[in-house]
Structure 1
Amino acid sequence: METERNISSGTFPTFLRNWRTRKNMSQLDLALTAGISQRHVSFLENGRSNPSRDSIASLGMALEMPAAEIDAMMGVAGYTALRTQTAADDKNLEAIKQSIDHVLRGHNPYPAMSIDRIWTIQNANEAALKFFAGLGGTGDLNMLRNIINPGPVREKIVNWSECARALLRLFELEVARRPNDREAQQLLAGFLMQDDVADIMKSPAKGLPSPLITLQFQINNQIVSLFSLIATIGLSHDARLDDIRIETLLPADDSSRNWFDNQS
């Protein structure tokens, strides 16, 4: 449930100042929201004071930072991550994993999977494994690479340009939420370096956008259309849980629904 992450290095004053600037907050605004003095915020940003773990946690929540970014800020200040992994934590994580598995199994005969912050599949139900194997997946567990990069999965997506643009716009927003996550930044940059991807991202959309973007796969002589619902774990201050997404794929029309019913 946890993947390796490469976090940019830096100093705590710079880290805090950059995040406050990103949120368009003054030092006074941040101080009032975090429940500390403006003078202390100023001293933290110019390096005259050293932060405590509690003040970092308060500042991170006041800035609405993702849990991974709060952990990164703890790291540049010389502290361990906000969460402390204990036997109780492991037990709770296992219980959550079992609940996620239950949701995935309950979504059969339609595909469902749990993915991390860079869209790498962590677990999948039987329908998803069967569906992606049928598309000719290469074994790469990253959904974005399978869809964006040339290969057997991309070749079967009828409306690839529309889907690629929408997915990368969504991923750009995710990367923006984690400005110190080098792994995610490098993945996005790699996609944008491809000429065909750069072209569709630069070209204006034709006409009004569809109210719902579906993934349309050409499978043999049929178009199988799917839309996705993405769920997250609410109210988590643990980066391992904050990263998890549960993506469920659903048929967008009766013919696609019948196609899945016939596969089970």
Structure 2
Amino acid sequence: MGRVFLLRYHRGMTTISRPVGDVLREWRQRRRMSQLDLACEADISTRHLSFMETGRSVPSREMVLHLAEQLQIPLRERNALLVAAGYAPVFPQRGLDDPALDAARKAMELVLKGHEPYPALALDRHWNMVAANGAVTPLLAGIDAALLQPPLNVLRLSLHPQGLAPRIGNYNEWRAHLFDRLRRQIDISADPVLVALLEELAAYPAPDGAWGKPHAAGADYAGVVVPFQLLTDGGVLSFISTTTVFGTPIDVTLSELALETFFPADTATADALRRLSGAGK
């Protein structure tokens, strides 16, 4: 059986230099809320909210956090919003190797290891792989070495012509699924790095003979989930995936961490993965 491995690299803080009122208004509009909608949710007057957005009133630290909660602003951006209002950030951002995150890191590693012989990985907010279990490595055979250098971006790895793209059986369907997820994430976070990533991925050419429809192995899941179908020398491996996040995190790093776990969509895939891991011997 393989072992969980951890990748470490620096993550920078988002900074905002605009007036806090401008930033609040932008988040409100991004959430498609009127001033009345937000005022009602926050239990404040529309006049008070209008004054904060126009700069006639400076929100207190507690008000900034209260409005950020109603707008479901990511923790990283809540820190930036506090800074824009003249306050210190309140949500710590630690590396996964920080002793304060020992429990979270061990929980992550337990989930990844326990999911073997099926593949599972941990991702940061930009879809860079933070950790993975041993079942992932055999699936990356033949990938261009440059795409495997940290930070390893799984979207780039999946859709790049020198990555997994030529081996994805339902490439067009899987690509559309990933783009939908990425666009939803951009709507929520307004992260410029993700916007640039989407533009990069959209420019990749489709591999020759890309399949537009799912392979029959995923037919049972049509209309419910989008399967991931990987062409191998031993046949088509078909997966369905789930995403898990840490509940109510108070650390920026944990709030942006997601565990992506893949399950076999058919018996043939389950048997093949067990053989690859040695569990079937």
Q: TM-score range by the shorter chain?
A: 0.7 to 0.9
Q: Secondary structure at the match of 2:12?
A: coil
Aligned length: 251
- Residue of structure 1 aligned with 2:274, choices 257, 261, 264: 261
Who is 1:234 aligned against? 247
Q: Secondary structure at the match of 1:108?
A: coil
Shift of 1:239: 2.4
Who is 1:206 aligned against? none
1:178 correspondence with 2:185: no
The letter of the residue matching 1:154 is A
Partner Cα distance (1:194, 1:156) in 2: 15
CA displacement, residues 201-233 of structure 1 (integer Å, 9 cap, x when unaligned): xx9xxxxx6433211111114111111111111
- Residue of structure 2 aligned with 1:72, choices 47, 70, 80: 80
* Equivalence map 1:1-264=2 (5 Å): 3-4=11-12, 6=14, 9-84=17-92, 90-132=98-140, 134-136=141-143, 138=145, 139-140=148-149, 141-179=152-190, 181-194=191-204, 196=206, 210-264=223-277
Shift of 1:14: 1.2
- Contact 1:121/1:142 (<8 A) preserved: yes
Q: Secondary structure at the match of 2:52?
A: helix
- Contact 2:92/2:252 (<8 A) preserved: no
Partner Cα distance (1:59, 1:68) in 2: 15
- Contact 1:214/1:227 (<8 A) preserved: yes
Shift of 1:248: 0.6
Partner Cα distance (1:29, 1:211) in 2: 33
Who is 2:4 aligned against? none
Q: Secondary structure at the match of 2:47?
A: helix
Q: Secondary structure at the match of 1:51?
A: coil
Length-normalised TM-score, structure 2: 0.80
The letter of the residue matching 1:169 is D
Q: Secondary structure at the match of 2:135?
A: helix
> Percent same amino acid at aligned positions?
31
Partner Cα distance (1:70, 1:4) in 2: 15
Q: CA RMSD in A?
A: 2.6
Partner Cα distance (1:49, 1:145) in 2: 44
CA displacement, residues 134-158 of structure 1 (integer Å, 9 cap, x when unaligned): 2535314111001111114212111
Shift of 1:103: 0.6
Shift of 1:234: 1.6
Q: Secondary structure at the match of 1:127?
A: coil
The letter of the residue matching 2:30 is R
- Contact 1:135/1:156 (<8 A) preserved: no
Higher helix share: 1
The letter of the residue matching 1:233 is F
The letter of the residue matching 2:82 is M
Who is 2:217 aligned against? none
Shift of 1:96: 0.7
Partner Cα distance (2:261, 2:53) in 1: 43
Shift of 1:128: 1.6
- Contact 1:34/1:58 (<8 A) preserved: yes
Partner Cα distance (1:152, 1:63) in 2: 37
The letter of the residue matching 1:249 is F
Q: Secondary structure at the match of 2:122?
A: strand
- Contact 2:226/2:240 (<8 A) preserved: yes
Shift of 1:72: 2.5
Length-normalised TM-score, structure 1: 0.85
